[in-house]
Structure 1
Amino acid sequence: MGRHRRGAQREVTVADLIDELRRYEPGMRVRLAIQPRLPQEHAIGPVAEADGVVWIGDGGQHGYAPEEVRESLGWL
């Protein structure tokens, strides 16, 4: 998600995100991983729309993500 076949960045749509999340159990928690070199774990905050874009707010840092997260996201 988020890349074309040739590796170029592309915009992720709401439909893309919904399709990806359908692979997981509905009761699972969701976190954001940021900073590939030292992944931090952030909670999801408020969700809003402005200027034709859906924004997912940061709900605060919960520490650092496990090493397996970095590997799973391809942040080697």
Structure 2
Amino acid sequence: MGRHRRGAKREVTVADLIDELRRFDPGAEVRLAIQPRMPQEHGVGTLAQADGIVWIGDGGQRGYAPDEVGERLGWS
């Protein structure tokens, strides 16, 4: 998600995000991983829409993400 076949970045739509999330346990918690060199774990905050874009707010840093997270996201 977020890249198409040739590796160029593309925008992720709400439908793309919903499709990806369907692969996971609906009861699982959701976190944001940011900063590839030292992955931090952030909670998901409120959602909003402005100018035709859906924004996911940052729910605050919870600590650092396990090494496995960076590996599975392709950051290492």
What is the TM-score with the length of structure 2 in the denominator?
0.99
Q: CA deviation at 1:68?
A: 0.1
What is the correspondence of 1:44-59 to structure 2 with a 5 Å cutoff?
44-59=44-59
Which runs of 5 or more residues in structure 2 are unaligned?
none
1:26 is matched with 26
Runs of at least 4 residues off by over 3 Å: none
What is the TM-score with the length of structure 1 in the denominator?
0.99
Tell me the alpha carbon deviations over residues 25-44 of structure 1, each in whole angstroms, 9 at most, x when there is no partner.
11000000000000000000
Identical amino acids, percent of aligned pairs: 78
After superposition, the CA RMSD in angstroms is: 0.3
Which runs of 5 or more residues in structure 1 are unaligned?
none
